[in-house]
Structure 1
């Protein structure tokens, strides 16, 4: 583990938690707004020069495939969508920032759902209280992705999502955020599929992780910043 330690700047600081002003509610940022329409029960609107969003916790049960926008940021937030499937994003391949957040019934993202999202640079899959697993090949095609945030879903083991983190699918990934993680341990092989990755920054703040295997982060050969602030970590490696 000494070799890994020489590559890292480790932060164990305590600071105020940062929450995006629009992380849950998609309807209240400043600026003008345009209501685009109702698509499969999803209410969709654009916040001029900020982002487009589709929402509706009661009636938005299927992904709004017919919705399109010229903005480069899209949020699917506070819906009852259960599944995200292949071709759902076919009208949104221009998107550079995608946030799938606070969808209370979301249980599954199909392999191939992101295949055509070649322009995507930032992806958040967060606050989806029924999402318990990510398939191993779910991120195939994200060749431009630089930042991935996975926060407050329902994973009870790291490997329930970490095996989907494959460097060959995300060759340009530089920043990984696993914030508010409810898992207790990080095992030796949990990040094996990131072997050879370009990942430089890894944030594991506000988590319940108590133990990280001494060899768990060895695959991250380009890691420069490891942030463990406000974790429950009792084992120092």
Structure 2
């Protein structure tokens, strides 16, 4: 069977199948019948088809499905409920490169075990409490959408999100100031939001440093010779940017190579941080200078 010429999911697949890969075919619609017997199916890859319609109840029988990839299709908002219903075991859902626009509280109301959700490269606007039911979600990709702001209530109060990617959107300045929005993300360790396209580089640098809780500098001799990097470092060393509330240091230094102290003399605050706080030496042992 030539998978690349398929226009429908084969109706006579063995019931014992665990993985089904039909990517890059010409499938335009998904119907319930081919999936009714696939109760053991755990992995389904339908990326790169032409799917615009999913029949209601299509996935009702695949109760053990863990991963569903529907990226690079033509799915719109009318298909939300048909995508997400009746998948109690689903952990990974990939919907990038579709035609989705509205993300709201009903979009994933039946999915309670998601750990990875990829909605990148759509035209999504995020609605109130859109992810309030996703406590177990650990990684969320919202890159390349139409997001300019986020509601105050978006995540579960005890959210387990660790990685959140919002890059290549046009987020407004006040998003990072919404305390209620971020207060429940105690496990968040990586937030990508990128510089604003078209803004002067100086403005982007200043805004990134001033709105960040911590600034991490990976130091090498090349870094110290760079004009832009020198500007960033000098800006980070101003008292307002260097120290947070209670006198805690907001600057974290990581040295990738040994840098003699004389090269650091013009960075007075940097030397003070090195003398006062712990810094990291990364890579193989340097040995003697």
Partner of 1:53: 21
Please tell me whether residue 199 in structure 1 is matched to residue 163 in structure 2. no
d(CA) in 1 for partners of 2:114, 2:75: 26
Partner of 2:33: 66
Work out which structure has the larger RCO, using CA pairs closer than 8 Å and 6 or more positions apart in sequence: 1
Aligned CA RMSD, in angstroms, stands at 3.5
Q: Tell me the alpha carbon deviations over residues 167-198 of structure 1, each in whole angstroms, 9 at most, x when there is no partner.
A: 3xx23222222223343x22452xx1314132
Q: Please list every run of 5 or more consecutive structure 2 residues that lacks an aligned counterpart in the other structure.
A: 198-203, 212-289
Partner of 1:142: 111
Partner of 2:69: 99
TM-score (norm 2): 0.54
d(CA) in 1 for partners of 2:167, 2:149: 15
Whether the 8 Å contact between 2:136 and 2:161 is mirrored in structure 1 is: no
TM-score (norm 1): 0.64
Q: Secondary structure at the match of 1:79?
A: coil
Q: Please list every run of 5 or more consecutive structure 1 residues that lacks an aligned counterpart in the other structure.
A: 1-33
Partner of 2:149: 186
Shift of 1:43: 4.8
Q: Secondary structure at the match of 1:109?
A: helix
From the two aligned structures, give the one with the greater helix fraction.
Answer: 2
Tell me: CA distance 1:103–1:37, structure 2 relative to 1, closer, same or farther (3 Å): closer
